[in-house]
Chain A
Amino acid sequence: MLLGGRDVIRFQNVGVRYGLGPEILHDVSMRLEEGSLHFLTGASGAGKSSLLRLMYLANQPSRGLVSLFGHDIATTPRRDLPGLRRQVGVVFQNFRLIDHLTAMENVALPLRVAGASESQIREHVPELLNWVGLSDQIDARPSTLSGGQKQRVAIARAIIARPKLLLADEPTGNVDDHIAMRLMHLFEELNKIGTTVVVATHNKALVTGFSYPRLHLANGELSVLKAGTPFAENDDETNAEGLR
């Protein structure tokens, strides 16, 4: 079912439960407009990764409505889901680079699965690796790269296919503050050219250093906070109940 509006993502009363366990997310309702940038915050185990997995269609909700680019995921035919996923770029917390492939081959993956030609791949991938400062690591395997370099390969892979939505799960978790700021500026650049961005992070300095609204998860419930809303004192506490 195609839903109207310019919402990239719309959640309505979404609940997530794994097996017979407790509900990780309860009654999550929110919408992300096209071209917006949001931080996603919350204590460890609050359900940030579960929320992101719903957004990049790795999981289905236990209840409620999830709509991506106007498509109700519950009623969208399974054969159409790969097309929707290709419009979403994901930077994973642990990078998820493929060890036996070079940086170039890792970044080229989204283009390959989309059926891009080798000439397109040879043209665009080195250009992007150059843009993220890895032009000298094109043929390097992930095992030979530093944490920051892996992070940049992961980001390059997430944006190579020019996604409409970019989801970054703790993208600054393995880099120093200086690189974290540079990464955020990179996300801002992508946002300026129309990409909707969601950055999940624990880094309070990063969130307070930029003026963007915040999706905050606590005890499986989501609240949308305006830019500049201060953090509560217990925001860093681990939410044991919500741990997966």
Chain B
Amino acid sequence: MPSAPVLPLTRDASSRFLPWLIAFMVWLAAMALAAALVLSSFSEQWRNDLTGTLTVQIATAPDGQLATTEHRLNRALDILRKTPGVIAAKAVPLKKISELLAPWLGRDVVTETLGLPIPRLIDVKVQPEAIIDVAALRERLNKEVDGTQVDDHGAWLYKLIALAGAIEAIALAVLALISIVAIATVIFATRTSLTIHRDVIELLHVIGAKDAYVADQFHWHALSLGLKGGLAGVFLAATTLLGLGSLWTGVESSLLPPVSLNIWQWACVLAVALIAAGISTVTARFTVLRALGRMP
């Protein structure tokens, strides 16, 4: 028959509330971590979009003739293709522009008969490591083809990346705060248990138990509570994230990438349970050893 544990830690009040507290903190931590990971992915994708592409806009010819505009377009393409660092420069077909504008202006707005001054667009691909002086390129293009605009998307996308970075940093700070609160909670619960079982601990001490013998009992107990709370917390977090993911799929936006996590990001979120169990175990053991160290 297996013997009963010497310290009846499972009967302590902390054994009932601690897994719930850990579950709640793990849920918060997992959500903060998921937010940080998703924002990191967003930033990465936006950064990739930024590096390597430019959009050049050629204003319609003053005479409104499509042929003249086409000539200006070809001149700009020629300059762009000769610019060092540019891999490719390709005019966006009129049909494509028409499709992009159709939701607002209706179909066939780019025809000569309608006469709307729709600018022509050029997609420019740049070598990833190349540094293009956008201002100089703009000036050169305008000398040959006046009214040309060069957009590297940076002005507003950099702000968006900075905002995402700030939110990511806040999420990580929240994660750190949750860890600190978790440690403080475990310390408090362990000290309470030490007080409750003071007589038995002193008895064990007197009959020759090493500090590690007592600490082991708290260690395994804290591991068990940490795992219970941690697994419950990540289960809740996974459910929440899957729910948010399904809501996100309804949002159509070319700017915001899909909110789903990849397998490694899921592994990181799930690892929060193990980290929580590890934190409770190490904290409980350290707290007990520190308290026992004060005994003669």
Contact = CB atoms under 8 A, between A and B. Distances in A.
Interface stretch (B153-161, B173-181, B195-203, B231-239): B195-203
A105 B3 contact: yes
Contacts of A157: 207
Interface of B is mostly: loop
A100 to B, nearest CB: 5
B4 A56 contact: no
Contacts of A166: none
Give the interface size class of chain B: 10 to 19
B208 A112 contact: no
A98 B207 contact: no
A58 interface: yes
Contacts of B296: 57-60, 81
Name, among B4, B208, B210, the residue most crowded by chain A CB atoms within 10 Å (CB to CB): B208
B282 to A, nearest CB: 21
B21 interface: no
B203 A98 contact: yes
Contacts of A84: 208
Interface in A78-92: 78-79, 81-86, 88, 90
A113 B202 contact: no
Given A96-B203, A98-B203, A109-B204, A82 B3 contact: no
Interface residues of A, number: 29
Interface string B197-232: 001101111111110010000000000000000000
Interface in B237-296: 293, 296
A83 B211 CA distance: 12
A108 interface: yes
B3 A98 contact: no
B208 A85 contact: yes
A2 interface: no
A4 to B, nearest CB: 24
Contacts of B136: none
Contacts, number: 57
B6 interface: yes
B4 A109 contact: no
Given A57-B296, A98-B6, A90 B207 contact: yes
A83 B210 CA distance: 9
Contacts of A145: none
Name, among B4, B206, B207, B293, the residue most crowded by chain A CB atoms within 10 Å (CB to CB): B207
A105 B1 CA distance: 11
B8 A100 contact: yes
A19 to B, nearest CB: 15
A5 B5 CA distance: 41
Contacts of B203: 96, 98, 109
Contacts of B207: 85-86, 90, 109-110, 113, 157
Nearest to A81: B296
Nearest to B8: A100
A114 interface: yes
A90 B202 CA distance: 13
A179 interface: no
A130 to B, nearest CB: 18
A90 B209 contact: no
A83 B208 CA distance: 6
A36 B194 CA distance: 38
A85 B3 contact: no
Nearest to B3: A105
A113 B212 CA distance: 10
Given A57-B296, A59-B296, A100 B208 contact: no
B206 A101 contact: no
Contacts of B293: 78
B206 A58 contact: yes
A82 to B, nearest CB: 5
Given A56-B206, A109-B204, A100 B199 contact: no
Contacts of A108: 3
Interface in A86-133: 86, 88, 90, 96, 98, 100-102, 105, 108-110, 112-114
A82 B208 contact: yes
Contacts of A161: 208
Contacts of A86: 207-208
Given A82-B208, A96-B203, 4 more contacts: A82-B210, A85-B207, A112-B3, A113-B209
For the complex of A and B, list the 6 residue pairs with the smallest distance between their C-beta atoms, beginning with the closest: A86-B208, A113-B209, A85-B208, A82-B208, A82-B210, A60-B296
